[in-house]
């Protein structure tokens, strides 16, 4: 199963992992998409977009119209959500058109600390 981890990390923490991977020649343990703050993560992953990701997990390439059909929503609204997820690097454009979420599972990680 191909899993992506959505997490909250500073850019320097993300860069440290990249540099470790680069120096050792070993790939990172899991695919990661990182956000600078929990607020940014939840701004990008709204409830409707999360529903869309669930519908696209393991589905392979689909058209935006097909994605809208799967979540029972208007194509124009789904197009706006797809654009936001593409801009955030969560979705990819598929070869030959359409979109793809190239993962079968999603894990969300972040730590909430006392102020």
In a domain, 114, yes or no: no
pLDDT of residue 9: 87
Q: Are 61 and 92 in contact (CB under 8 A)?
A: no
Question: 34 pLDDT exceeds 80?
Answer: yes
What's the pLDDT at 30? 77
pLDDT digits over 83-109, tens only? 999 999 999 999 988 999 999 999 988
For 39, the token pair is 């607020």
Mean pLDDT of the chain: 89
Q: Which of 29, 8, 84, 92 is nearest to 56 (CA)?
A: 92
Q: Is the pLDDT of residue 25 over 80?
A: no
Q: Which domain holds residue 60?
A: 3-109
pLDDT at 36 over 80: yes
> Is residue 94 one of the residues assigned to a domain?
yes
45 is a domain residue: yes
In this structure, what CATH number is given to the domain that contains residue 49? 1.10.10.10
Q: Supply the pTM of this predicted model.
A: 0.83
Q: Is residue 57 part of a domain?
A: yes
How many Cα atoms are found within 13 Å in the side-chain-facing hemisphere of 70?
18
**Domain count of the fold of the chain:** 1
CA-to-CA distance for 41 and 112, rounded, in angstroms? 13
Mean predicted confidence (pLDDT) in 10-15: 78
CA–CA dist 95, 112 (Å, integer): 39
Task: Calculate the alpha carbon distances from 52 to 11, 23, 33, 66 in Å.
Answer: 27, 37, 17, 11
pLDDT for the residue numbered 13: 79
- pLDDT value at position 53? 95
Is 115 part of any domain? no
């Amino acid at each position: 199963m191909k899993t992506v981890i959505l997490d909250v990390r500073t850019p320097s923490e993300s860069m440290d992992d990249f540099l470790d991977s680069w120096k050792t020649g070993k790939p990172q343990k899991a695919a990661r998409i990182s956000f600078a703050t929990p607020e940014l993560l939840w701004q990008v992953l709204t409830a409707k977009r999360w529903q869309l990701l669930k519908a696209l997990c393991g589905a392979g390439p689909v058209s935006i119209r097909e994605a809208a059909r799967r979540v029972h929503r208007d194509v124009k609204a789904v197009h706006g959500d797809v654009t936001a997820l593409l801009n955030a690097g969560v979705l990819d454009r598929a070869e030959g058109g359409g979109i793809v979420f190239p993962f079968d599972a999603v894990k969300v990680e972040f730590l909430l600390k006392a102020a």
